[in-house]
Every structure is written in structure tokens, then in C-alpha cells.
Amino acid sequence: MKNDIERILYSEEEIRGKIKELGSRIAKDYAGKDVIFIGILKGSVMFMSDLLKEVNIPCRMDFMAVSSYGNSAVTSGVVRILKDLDFEIRDKDIIIVEDIIDSGVTLQYLIKYLKARKPRSVEIACLLNKPERRKVEIPVKYLGYDVPDYFLVGYGLDYAEKYRNLPYIAVLKEEIYK
């Protein structure tokens, strides 16, 4: 796998430090609340797992799996729900946990979908954000890093379902995906 990597953008240590920061902010903001974290499969798995270990308050976790309709290069704005929530979220405080925001279309759809179930509040925790690529405004309360428009893999992020198990975040060599 290492031969396919251009360079490492964030090391394991850097990610760990950033997640500690985010986790303690969330723990402080949500103390005494009934919070449910909703991880978006599969990209958020590493982030969700490490983040929640740093959120030292009682909380619950749930997962959703979604996929974009049609060609992923042309975002249609329609998202198909492959796995829905196990929990009822009415009157709960929820935090959506995502790996990366690109156009923002996936999250825009999910926020609307979840808000229809009348949670008390909805916030977003996202490790990476590509501001240059944004098409719709998404308010991200807990953000790891703003990143340039490179194709990234590792720490949950995939290319064709591979590289998710790299422990760091890396720029994929262009020749692999071009």
C-alpha cells in the first residue's frame, strides 16, 4: 500500500492530538445531555472509534450507511439510505460523525433527513473538510482539519474500498486513480 502513497498529510500522532482536543470540547459541551453519535459508514469508523474514547461522558452510538445515486463524480444530491438508525432520535441531541466533507451534498441530505425526526439538536463532527469543493453550506461545529483538494486515503478514507486501514491520512498518487 505504501507504494501508492504520495505523502503523509497527518500522522497517527497528529490525528490522536486533534481528536483529544475535539473529544474534550464535545464532552464539555454535552455534559448532562442525552447525546447520540451517528457514524456514517464506512469512512467514519476509525474517527468515530477514536473520538468516542476521548468523549468522557455517557453517550450512545449508532450508525447509518448511505450511498449516492448514480455516478459519484457527478453529485445528484440524492442519497440512498442503506442502513438506517437503530435508535429513536426525537428530542435527543445528535452529533453526526463524518470522515470528510467534499461538496457537502451527502451531509446536507442527511441533516434534512434526520431533522425531520425532530431531534433536540443536530451538530456535525468531521475530521476533514475540503472548502474549495463545497457546493452547499454546511455548519461544522467540530472540525479536525481544512485540507486542500487532493484525493486522500487512510484512517477510514478509501479509494475503491481500499486503504481504509492505513493508520495515517495520506495523499494518494495520481497514477492510481487517473
Residue 5 touches which of ligand IMP, Mg ion, none (Cβ within 5-8 Å per kind): none
Piece in contact with ligand IMP (CB under 6 A), picked from 2-10, 16-24, 45-53, 95-103: 95-103
Least distance in angstroms from the C-beta of 99 to ligand IMP: 5
Least distance in angstroms from the C-beta of 67 to ligand IMP: 10
Give the per-residue contact string, 41-80, with Mg ion (x = CB under 5 A; - = no): --x-------------------------------------
Measured CA to CA, the distance from residue 164 to residue 93 in angstroms comes to 29
103, 73 Cβ separation under 8 angstroms: no
What number of other Cβ atoms are within 10 A of residue 62's Cβ? Answer: 16
99 binds ligand IMP (CB under 6 A): yes
Dihedral through CA 140, CA 141, CA 145, CA 147, nearest 10?
A: 20
106 binds ligand IMP (CB under 6 A): yes
Dihedral through CA 141, CA 119, CA 27, CA 110, nearest 10?
A: -40
Please select the residue that binds ligand IMP; options are 15, 101, 127, 169, rule is CB under 6 A: 101
Strand 169-172 and strand 142-146: the pairing is: unpaired
Positions touching ligand IMP (CB under 6 A) are 43, 75, 98-106, 151-153, 157-158
